[in-house]
Amino acid sequence: MERIIIKTQTARSEILIGENWESVDGMLPGSGVVIITDDNVLDIYGDRFPQFPVFSIAPGERSKMFEVIELLAEKLLSAGIDRTGFILAIGGGVVCDVAGFLASIYLRGIRCAYVSSTLLSQVDASTGGKNGINLGNTKNVLGNFRQPEFVICDPSMLHTLPDEEFFSGLAELIKTAIIGNERLFEMIERNHEGILRRDTELLSLMIGMSVNFKASVVSEDEKESGLRRILNFGHTYGHAIEISGLARHGFAVASGMEIATSFSLLKGLISEREASRIRDLLNQFNLLREYNIPDYQIEQLILHDKKKTGTDLHFIFVNGIGKAVVEKIPVAEVLSFYKYYKSGKQIT
């Protein structure tokens, strides 16, 4: 088991990688605990949950809405949860987002922790303290920063994931490798079969590498005012693809990374060889799916991007495998490149 500590100016969070998720029972207060999960996780693991009240939400993005937060808050009140209360999330990124957001605003904030059950959540969503819910078609526009007390990442839980969910998470693992760890990128390239088998030891090692990188970024920039922006590599175009309903999060981000890589190539920030390695790795795991978003629609979606400031946007480019750079560029340039890319022109 690997223990990774995130320390910020206001909080301390422990990420436990390889820990048996059922050991969470011994980490909780004796009373005042509620568990938030989703219906799928409840069906698979519910009979082994700690003996506390369980509130289950529908799986997927449809639960990342304020109406769900309001309903859960009413349930906390009915359960008698006061300021000494504790929320334990058991689930993937949506469950952790919802639970973390609720914990941050209920009675002006109560304690929380996560058992992260998906690869997407283990490598990205449950680490770093970002909590967000959607407003209409705009992703994560309502949110805040609040670190969970601890996060358990048990790779054995990944064996129960549907293939689409597993590979969606793999895209975020590859993202971390592209922007911050060339050794992790090479490890993913070399271990195709082990990843497909969901080898627990291999996944523990790679999840640990990903979380260590993210922890170093978050510890330096908790509230995304600088360095932490690099974690959004592929997300500007990816979120637009996802919100259009054309792909789930990881696959949408994979396509967003391909576009951002081509944009980086056009700007001379990455070599053709490295760009090809990135595309080949995404294709190796069948992460690039067909999509076609009309120009007017991509424009409207990107105009709502949280990284936009006025007429500019903080865009993340790859500056060689294992490195990323943030540039503030006009939104018009982001839109123009999408049209250029979509036209199918060969970039050299």
Residues 146-174 pLDDT 10s? 889 999 999 999 999 999 999 999 999 99
Reading the block at residue 65, the tokens are 């809405």
Q: What does CATH list as the number for 174-342?
A: 1.20.1090.10
Q: Tell me what the mean pLDDT of segment 32-47 comes to.
A: 98
User: pLDDT confidence of 272, banded at 50, 70, 90?
Assistant: very high
Per the annotation, the verdict on 224 as an active-site residue is yes
- Pick the catalytic residue: 40, 232, 242, 306? 232
Architecture of domain 2-160: 3-Layer(aba) Sandwich (3.40)
- Pick the catalytic residue: 64, 111, 130, 139? 130
If you average pLDDT over every residue of the chain, what do you get? 90
Among 48-62, 137-151, 166-180, the least confident range? 137-151
- Pick the catalytic residue: 172, 222, 242, 274? 172
Q: What angle do CA 180, 186, 188 make, to 5 degrees?
A: 95
What local confidence, expressed as pLDDT, does residue 47 receive? 97
- Pick the catalytic residue: 111, 146, 175, 228? 228
Sequence ranges of the chain with CATH classification 3.40.50.1970 = 2-160
Nearest to 149 by CA among 210, 103, 91, 117: 103
Evaluate if residue 197 carries a pLDDT over 50.
yes
Q: Tell me what the mean pLDDT of segment 263-276 comes to.
A: 96
Polymer length in residues for the chain: 348
Per the annotation, the verdict on 228 as an active-site residue is yes
User: Residue by residue, what is the 3-state secondary structure of 55-76?
Assistant: EEECCCHHHCCHHHHHHHHHHH
Per the annotation, the verdict on 14 as an active-site residue is no
User: In angstroms, rounded to a whole number, what is the distance separating the alpha carbons of residues 270 and 153?
Assistant: 33
Evaluate if residue 61 carries a pLDDT over 90.
no
pTM attached to this predicted model: 0.90
- Pick the catalytic residue: 146, 248, 249, 314? 249
Q: Map tokens 């088998």 to a residue.
A: 197
Per the annotation, the verdict on 192 as an active-site residue is no
- Pick the catalytic residue: 239, 248, 277, 314? 239
Per the annotation, the verdict on 249 as an active-site residue is yes
Evaluate if residue 87 carries a pLDDT over 90.
yes
| pLDDT, tens only, 282-295 | 999 999 988 777 77
What local confidence, expressed as pLDDT, does residue 126 receive? 72
Sequence ranges of the chain with CATH classification 1.20.1090.10 = 174-342
Q: What angle do CA 82, 83, 85 make, to 5 degrees?
A: 70
- Relative orientation angle of helices 331-342 and 249-266, to the nearest 10 degrees: 100
Nearest to 82 by CA among 129, 40, 29, 20: 29
Per the annotation, the verdict on 308 as an active-site residue is no
Pairing of strands 312-318, 324-330: antiparallel
Per the annotation, the verdict on 159 as an active-site residue is no
Q: Where are the beta strands (DSSP E) in the chain?
A: 2-7, 12-17, 33-38, 54-57, 86-91, 111-116, 130-135, 138-145, 150-153, 308-309, 312-318, 324-330
What local confidence, expressed as pLDDT, does residue 105 receive? 95
Per the annotation, the verdict on 108 as an active-site residue is yes
| pLDDT, tens only, 277-328 | 999 999 999 999 887 777 777 777 777 666 666 788 889 999 999 999 999 9
Contact 17, 156 (CB under 8 A): no
